[in-house]
Amino acid sequence: MFKKILRNLHGIAIFSASTVNTIICFVPIMMLALLKFLIPILTFRKIMTNWIMFVGEQWVACNSIIFSIGCKTTWDVRGLESLSKDDWYLLIPNHQTWVDIVVLQTVLNRRIPFLKFFIKQQLIWFPFLGLAWWAMDMPFMKRYSKSYLAAYPENKGKDLEATRIACEKFRDTPTSVINFVEGTRFSEEKKARRASTFDNLLPPRAGGIALALSSMGEMFDAILDVTIVYPRGRQQFWAMICGDFDHVIVDIVRRPVDDWLHQGDYQNNREFRRDFHQWMTKIWEDKDRKINSLVAAAENEPPT
């Protein structure tokens, strides 16, 4: 019981410290975001963006230090040697827990451009955070539903064009964009519900990555195929901040961005859509085998 109390107190202290760090960093981000919004001069906005990215990197770095307190984590990271802050990347990691985001930020911070997520365009109106996301140049994605397009067929393709226009600002600024192609976090229940044929993954949903490649494909220098493995089981956020985060493997494979991936019409060309699904499924099959191999190798390692 005493150990459990100490563990929870440790978690409360770590969570409090990360909250304070978030508030400290959020204030200057909001101030810089307001300046960027109020002064529509392109050069000035680029400077503000760079400053905001700098503050964001400090936030990630401080959080990484805070989360490491009391944790004797074994970090087995592979594939960092080919990365650069001056390149454009599309990341396609597997997704098991919210800890994945902490892991990715910790491993990749200052090694590649600040990580960004495609965000639904409606969320730009979310109080405070919408402005922060806009100021951090998060790519806003506009998508119409099938029912909307059935009612207004004249707007077919306009959502993709709007997303492409929104992504033009990344042409002159190195950018890293994450796409969790499974669409949600893995669980055995979801695996059964979606009839997944993979041991450790949910079937990839290709629409989001197809949109990302169609919008920014020619900008990307590489696709980073990131495999995250927790050899002793998925880590939960509360367990991590309580000091129970013991071992993680991050394997990064650099894949080329072939021209055909961003030159086809995923929405309207059935043959291209089939080829794209086959390409994505092959990557996921390789990832699934790799997870099995990494887990088996970790289980055979002698305890430290």
Each residue of 173-208: pLDDT tens digit?
A: 899 999 899 988 999 999 999 999 999 999 998 888
Least confident of 106-115, 144-153, 227-236: 144-153
Structural domain contains residue 85 = yes
Phi, psi (5° rounding) for residue 67?
A: -65, -25
Least confident of 130-139, 217-226, 283-292: 130-139
Each residue of 88-126: pLDDT tens digit?
A: 999 999 999 989 999 999 999 999 999 988 777 777 777
Each residue of 1-26: pLDDT tens digit?
A: 778 888 889 999 999 999 999 999 99
CATH of residue 228's domain is 3.40.1130
> In the chain, where does DSSP find H-type helix?
2-38, 42-68, 99-108, 129-135, 146-151, 158-167, 188-193, 206-216, 237-239, 259-263, 270-300
Query: What CA–CA distance (Å, rounded) separates 52 from 34?
Result: 11
Query: What CA–CA distance (Å, rounded) separates 120 from 12?
Result: 32
pLDDT at 148: 66
pLDDT at 207: 83
DSSP state of 114: P
C-alpha of 62 from chain center? 19
268 burial (CB, 10 Å; 0-12 / 13-18 / 19+) is exposed
With a cut of 60, say whether residue 223 has pLDDT above it. Answer: yes
The share of the chain scoring above pLDDT 70, in percent, equals 92
Structural domain contains residue 45 = no
Query: What CA–CA distance (Å, rounded) separates 304 from 291?
Result: 21
Quick one: tokens of 151? 């009612």
Nearest to 276, CA basis, from 302, 4, 284: 284
Structural domain contains residue 44 = no
- Number of domains forming the structure of the chain: 1
Structural domain contains residue 33 = no
pLDDT at 243: 87
Nearest to 76, CA basis, from 256, 242, 248, 230: 248
Structural domain contains residue 233 = yes
pLDDT at 170: 82
Structural domain contains residue 66 = no
User: Structural domain of residue 194, as residue ranges?
Assistant: 73-300
Structural domain contains residue 202 = yes
List, in order, residues 6 or more apart from 36 with CB less than 8 Å away: 44, 45, 48, 49, 52, 135
Structural domain contains residue 184 = yes
121 burial (CB, 10 Å; 0-12 / 13-18 / 19+) is middle
